[in-house]
Amino acid sequence: MKQLYITLIAISAMFATACNDMLDDIKPYLDEGEKVYVGKLDSVKIFSGQNRLKITGLMPYGMTQTKCILNWIDPAGEIGSKEYPIERVSPNEQFEFIIDNLLEGQYDFQIYTYDAKNNSSIRVDIGGYSYGEVYESVLVNRNIGSMSLDEDGGTINWLAGANGLVRSEIKYTDKEGTIRNISVSVDESSIYCPGAPGKGEFEYRSVYIPEKLSIDEFYTAWDKASFPYLFGDVDRSQWSVIFCDNSDPTEGSPDNIIDNNPDSYWHSDYHNATNYPYTFVIDMKEQVWVGEIGAQTRQNAYYTRGVEFYTIDNYTGPSEGQWIKLGDLDLPQNNNDIIWKTCSNSILDAGIKARYLKVVLTSGYNGHLGGIGEISVKKVLY
């Protein structure tokens, strides 16, 4: 029995020693007392910007927060920190913090909130990208596909935009001298410019955002372009054909190419066949600044293909003088409508006004046979 008591006393001493050793490990924390954690910044989001970032969040856990500290590592590996005071009003209020003057690149943040006794929250981590000159330098202006002009203004048709494009901005001076600023969304393929003048210059640039929720916009440099000329019909009632080097009177007179009747036509000589080219000279009876050239095939008989247009103001003969080429076009084999083609910019910008028009048929679809329904031009109004 005595031996049993001795054993129990030894075991009790061993447990007491072990407990004392365990308490030694946690004693420093027990001496500190209870740890108080402040409510953290919750539902955190980060938004990219131009050399800056915005962080937002809620503080639904308690109302004791008095400041928020953001710590970060910048793209160069440097550590930064910024403190923001907090005044609590409502458990549901949203907070936002702007970090300015950042380098371009990735930032990783550690976020803590503190109360008046300097108790902190647990850490919240979030990362975001600050954009700058490198991103902006690779942005491209949205390309213009085509333009047109009427008496009331001009239309710009755009090609598809690049990723991140938001809109394009246009500025121009209208016919009344008023400066206009308009914009077109990336979702729109055209924009109408009221009062745009013929050949009037305009500037345009494109606006981008690098991310869907970016707080800043980025801009391309301004590019310059010009509205097209405005064309109008020419009165052909006084026109006359003063030269033709080949025709078949039994088939169709040269005068038929300017009679405004698409069912009449000129035809090359069946009986004394010669080969292309065939040449006409037309007296327009006034000086015309030609902007578009047009030709129409013989209805349902697609003989002629290539057509060239020339002009001169002082006529001395079909081969004499300095004829200026206005342009050329091809007539298709399956279209009875008049085919129009705009003169080149170099011809339009030269502002050539001349009285005589030479038309040369250069090729056909059926050997030497040629046939034309109508020849016409449109003049530059402005």
pTM of the complete model: 0.71
pLDDT-based confidence at residue 31 (cuts at 50, 70, 90):
low
Residue 262 has pLDDT above 70, yes or no: yes
Averaged pLDDT for residues 96-125: 97
Place of tokens 């950042």: 102
| pLDDT category of residue 251 using cuts at 50, 70 and 90 | confident
Residue 8: band (very low, low, confident or very high) from pLDDT cuts 50, 70, 90: very low
pLDDT tens for each residue of 267-297:
999 888 789 999 999 999 999 999 999 999 9
pLDDT band at 23 (very low <50, low <70, confident <90, very high): very low
pLDDT at 83 over 90: yes
**How far is 144 from 163, CA to CA, in rounded Å?**
16
- 347 pLDDT tier (thresholds 50, 70, 90): very high
pLDDT of 33: 56
State the Cα–Cα distance between residues 306 and 363, nearest whole angstrom.
Answer: 5
Residue 327, pLDDT above cutoff 80? yes
Quote the mean pLDDT of the chain: 91
Mean pLDDT (whole number) for 339-351: 93
The tokens describing 52, both together, are 């800056």
Residue 331: pLDDT over 70:
yes
Q: Average pLDDT in the 97-122 region? A: 97
Q: What is the CA radius of gyration of the chain?
A: 41
Average confidence (pLDDT) over 22-51: 76
The confidence score (pLDDT) of residue 4 equals 41
Best CA proximity match to 308, nearest among 287, 278, 286: 278
- pLDDT given for residue 7 in this prediction: 45
**Do 68 and 97 touch, CB atoms closer than 8 A?**
yes
Phi, psi dihedral angles at 378 (to 5 degrees): -120, 145
Can you tell me the mean pLDDT for 343-364?
Answer: 95
Report how far Cα 186 is from the mean position of its chain's Cα atoms: 7
